[in-house]
Structure 1
Amino acid sequence: MTKIKTAGLPLSETKKAAILIHGRGASAESILSLSQYLSLDDYALLAPEAEGGSWYPYSFMAPDSANQSALAKSLETIRVVWNQVIEAGISPENVVFIGFSQGACLSLEFAAQNAQKLAGVIAFTGGLIGEKILEEKYSGAFEGTPVFIGSSEKDVHVPLSRIKESETLLSRMGAKVKLSIFKDSNHTIRKEEIDWVNGNIL
C-alpha cells in the first residue's frame, strides 16, 4: 500500500499538482516542508513515502542488478501518485516533479521513462539512475519541459559527470535543462536554487 501524504489544495480544487519525492533517510513530511520556500500556493501537493526511508538500497550508480527490484517498486509507487493526479483531471503539462537527492534521481528517472510535456522537473542534486545511462530505457519527448538540476560540483553522492550525461540525454529528448552547479561541497538545497525555480518554473 503506497503511503502518500498530501498538502496544499485538494486535487479537486486546483488545476496544478506537484509530486514531491524525499531523499534517503527522510520522509514525505520533510519534503513537503519545502513548500514553505517554493511558490506552490495554488498546487495540490502529493508526497509518497519510501518504505524504511529509502527508495533503493545502494548508490544510484551501483550495478543495475543491485537496485533493480527496489527501484522497480519505487517507480511503481511514483506511477500510483501520477495516476491519482491524472485521474483527478489535472493535465500532465500542469504537473511538476520535485525531488532531493534520491528523490531527485527518482524524479528524473520517472520523468525520462515517461517523457511528455510537463510543468517541470526540479532535481535538487540528482541524475538519471543506473551504472551507465542506457538510452533504450527512456521514451517519449519532453516538448520543451523545463528541467532544473542543482548540485555541488563535487557532491559526495552525485558526480558532476553523471549530471552532465543526464543533461545531454534529457536535452536530446526535448527538455530545456538548466544546470546550477556550485563551488561548495554541501549536499543541500541552496537559496539560489529556490530563487531560480520560483522565478522560472513555479
Structure 2
Amino acid sequence: MYTHEKNILTAGKPLEQTGKALVMVHGRGATAESILELSDYLDVTDFTLNAPQATNHSWYPYSFMAPVSQNQPALDSALALLDETVKSIKAQGVDSRHIYLLGFSQGACLTAEYATRHAQRFGGLLLFTGGLIGQQIDTGNYKGSFEGTPVLITTGDPDPHVPVSRVEETVKIMEEMGAEVTKQIYKGRPHTILQEELSLAKTILSAS
C-alpha cells in the first residue's frame, strides 16, 4: 500500500491570465501527461490545466467496487491530493465556480468521490466512465450542495470496470445534492472516450 507524492503537472496559460482551471485525473496505469493530451480535443485554450500524477500510476490498488478498507491508505491519500490541488487553485483567487474537474475510469471514480465529499458549486464535473467508490456507497461521507453544478457521467453497457447500476446510484445521490446531471450509457462501447462524450463535455466547458 502506498501514499501519493505531490506531483502535479500544469499546462496552458497561467492562472492569473485565465481565472479558471481544469483539473484532469488520469486512469489506472496511465499518466498525467496522457490525460493532458485529452485537452487537444476539448477547446480549453482559456483554461489553466492541472493534472496530478498517481504514485505507481494507480490511485488505489483494487476495484472501486471493493470494500473501501482494501483500497486504503492509497484512496485517502489520493483524495487528499485532489483536495490539495483544488485548494491551491482557490488560494490563487479562483472561485469554485471556475474550477472544473475531469476524470477517466479510475480517475473519474476518484473525481466523483472527491467532489461529492466536498460538494459545492463547481464549474462542472466531467466523469468519463466512473461512479462513487465502495462496495456499498456510504452516503455519510457526502456533504454540501452542488448548487446546480453541471455533471456529465458516462459508461458503457456493459463496461468491464464500471457497472451501469453504480452510475445510476451515483446520479441519484448527486442529483439529491443539487447537481444537474447528464447521464449517457453507451451500448457495447469499449472502455474508452467517444467523440460524443467529448462534445457533451465541451458544452459544459464552454458555458463558463
What is the TM-score with the length of structure 2 in the denominator? 0.95
- Counterpart check, 1:199 vs 2:203: yes
What residue in structure 2 maps to residue 114 of structure 1? Answer: 118
Quick one: distance in 2 between partners of 1:157 and 1:135? 22
What residue in structure 2 maps to residue 140 of structure 1? Answer: 144
Matches within 5 A, 1:55-74: 55-74=59-78
Amino acid at match of 2:147: E
- Counterpart check, 1:95 vs 2:90: no
Quick one: distance in 1 between partners of 2:195 and 2:139? 33
Q: Secondary structure at the match of 2:73?
A: helix
Quick one: distance in 1 between partners of 2:98 and 2:47? 9
Matches within 5 A, 1:141-180: 141-180=145-184
Quick one: distance in 2 between partners of 1:6 and 1:40? 13
Amino acid at match of 1:47: A
Quick one: distance in 2 between partners of 1:4 and 1:33? 15
Amino acid at match of 1:160: V
Per-residue CA distance 1:78-129 (angstroms, 9 max, x = gap): 1111111001111100000000001000111110000000100000000001
Quick one: distance in 2 between partners of 1:39 and 1:137? 34
Unaligned 5+ segments in structure 2 are none
Q: Secondary structure at the match of 2:46?
A: coil
Quick one: distance in 2 between partners of 1:198 and 1:7? 18
Quick one: distance in 2 between partners of 1:116 and 1:52? 30
Quick one: distance in 1 between partners of 2:107 and 2:16? 26
What residue in structure 2 maps to residue 82 of structure 1? Answer: 86
Deviation at 1:32, TM superposition (A): 0.2
Unaligned 5+ segments in structure 1 are none
Q: Percent identity?
A: 46
Amino acid at match of 2:152: F
Deviation at 1:68, TM superposition (A): 2.4
Matches within 5 A, 1:171-190: 171-190=175-194
Say which is worse superposed, 86-95 or 8-17, in terms of deviation: 8-17
Count of residue pairs the alignment pairs up: 202
Quick one: distance in 2 between partners of 1:145 and 1:138? 15
Of 1, 7, 11, the match for 1:3: 7
Quick one: distance in 2 between partners of 1:14 and 1:196? 22
Q: Secondary structure at the match of 1:198?
A: helix
Deviation at 1:56, TM superposition (A): 0.2
Say which is worse superposed, 18-27 or 75-84, in terms of deviation: 75-84
- Counterpart check, 1:32 vs 2:24: no
Quick one: distance in 2 between partners of 1:197 and 1:11? 21
Amino acid at match of 2:65: M
Deviation at 1:201, TM superposition (A): 3.6
Q: Secondary structure at the match of 2:120?
A: coil
**Aligned-CA RMSD value:** 0.9
